[in-house]
Structure 1
Amino acid sequence: MLRLAINRLLLPAAMAALLMLSLAYWWLDNGPHEAFGTAMLGLLTWHIYTNRRWFLTLRIGQYDARRWAVVIIHTWLAINITVLFVTSVLISRSVSFIQFTDHVSVIEVHWFSAYWVVLIIAVHLGSHWPRVMVTFATVLRLSPSRVRTNWLRLFSALLLAYGAWSFAVLGVSTKLTFGYSLYFWDFTASVTPFFAHWTAVIAGVAVLSYYSMAALRSAGKPRSRSNNGGT
């Protein structure tokens, strides 16, 4: 059970924390930024290794809309992680012994891919949320509860609303479209709200992803026939 909790709860939580710390570049400076980013990529490698059997199942079974969506999400995530890793190596000034380039375009691509990684990881989290909740309930030995489910749904709605607001506050849409913005978070004024907003963005996107996947799953189920033979 401990191994299950580590692989499905603690490991993803640690990766998310390291990713958000990496986003706080103007607060931590370059050295910690690269250290946290390297640690995150290391944990990601471990995460991929522990879930390597998923890749072996890609040719097995039929594909419905939800399964295609999951494959597309993972493919887009893999592309952005690769871009993030390559650009990290190229512009590294602390972890690497050699800085291959400091060209502004490479740095911009690095940040662009990093923001996309954040959003796709949130989508990935939402698509696997039922598994996370089952693991959480197993570890804490929780029995099914309709009251708790209703409270969680209400909390999810609040997270979605807060996430939408934080999305606008952080200007995430501009960051995802390679747009230029003169706005940067002022860490001299506040630090905690920065992480709160990014947490809300990740949570909000995860909630949206979860319900979208649930809708695709429902749409993919065969409809039962009525008594008169209709569908």
Structure 2
Amino acid sequence: MSLQARLLMNLVAGGLLLAALAYDWLGNLAHELIGTVMFGLLFAHNTFNRRWYGSAVRKGGRDLRAWLNSATIAALAAAMLILLTTSIIISRSLFSALPIASSFGARQLHAQAAYWALVVVAVHVGMRWSMIMTSMRSWLRLGAPNAGRTWILRVVALSIAAYGIHSWTVIGTSARL
């Protein structure tokens, strides 16, 4: 798969994670459909990046950054596995025909795992930010880094981060973790 397709797939998966958090606006069926597509994209993401797992095990924790990267991916895998498992348990639309009893505890665990997944995905993306920007520069066929463009993109990124922090406090996400 081309680099552009992989970047787009990852962007869509991240957008779907955010969209899935709008459960009250979208309703249950849309939430379950979004989650199912997101998990399909995550499966593809891990399939395309499977070589990393082998090289990470072989190389081990070379330094603090490598150790933090592995810990972040382990936390993300745990959150996503909890989300996947609880999704099937509490499903009222797509998987409701399965003979699994739903529980209030599973719903709470699902919601908590979703908020933690959002935090860990942000760390995961942040740790790869320079690689993402290099890939985007290549994809868009931009030349060498340009100081003006760099500052404009930094202001845009800072604005998005500031709005995210504002939303975090308005919604009261800290209390949900």
- Tell me what 1:113 maps to: 113
Q: How far is the alpha carbon of 1:99 from its aligned partner? A: 5.3
1:171 aligns with 2:172: yes
On the 8 A contact 1:91/1:99 being kept in 2, the answer is no
Report the Cα distance in structure 1 between the residues aligned to 2:166 and 2:92, rounded to whole angstroms.
35
In the other structure, the counterpart of 1:74 is: 73
TM-score (norm 2): 0.91
Deviation string 1:107-146 (CA, Å, 9 cap, x unpaired) is 0001110111111111111111111111111111111212
8 Å Cα contact 2:61-2:67 kept in structure 1: no
Question: SS at the partner of 1:36?
Answer: helix
Give 5+ residue unaligned stretches, structure 1: 177-231
Q: Deviations over 1:14-69 (max 9, x none)?
A: 10121122111112211111111011001000000000000011122651111111
- The 5-angstrom pairing of residues 155-194 of structure 1 reads 155-176=156-177
Residues 210-231 of structure 1: per-residue CA shift (max 9 Å, x gap): xxxxxxxxxxxxxxxxxxxxxx
Larger Rg: 1
Check 1:154–1:25 CA distance in 2 against 1; reply closer, same or farther (3 A cut).
closer
Distance 1:62-1:80 versus aligned 2 partners, 3 A rule: closer
* Superposed CA offset, 1:75-133 (max 9, x none): 10011111111111111121112251231111000111011111111111111111111
Aligned to 2:94: 95
If the length of structure 1 is used for normalisation, what is the TM-score? 0.71
Number of the residue aligned with 1:205: none
In the alignment, the residues of structure 2 paired with residue 133 and residue 53 of structure 1 have an alpha-carbon distance, to the nearest angstrom, of 21
Distance 2:146 2:161 in 1: 22
Cα RMSD after superposing both structures: 1.6
Unpaired segments ≥5 residues, structure 2: none
Deviates more, 1:81-90 or 1:161-170: 161-170
The aligned residue for residue 126 of structure 1 is: 126
1:133, 1:140 → 2: CA distance? 10
* Structure 1 stretch displaced more, 163-172 or 67-76: 163-172
Tell me by how many angstroms 1:159 deviates.
Answer: 3.2
* 1:175-204 Cα distance to aligned partner (Å, 9 max, x none): 11xxxxxxxxxxxxxxxxxxxxxxxxxxxx
More helix by share: 2
Q: Is the 8 A contact 1:90 1:99 kept in 2?
A: no
CA contact (8 A) 2:16 2:35 kept: yes
User: Which residue does the alignment assign to 1:198?
Assistant: none
Change over 3 Å in CA distance of 1:103–1:36 after alignment to 2: same
1:184 match: none
Matched residue, 1:18: 16
Paired AA for residue 66 in structure 2? R
Question: How many residues align structurally?
Answer: 174
Structure-2 residue corresponding to 1:50? 48
Identity among equivalent positions (%) equals 37
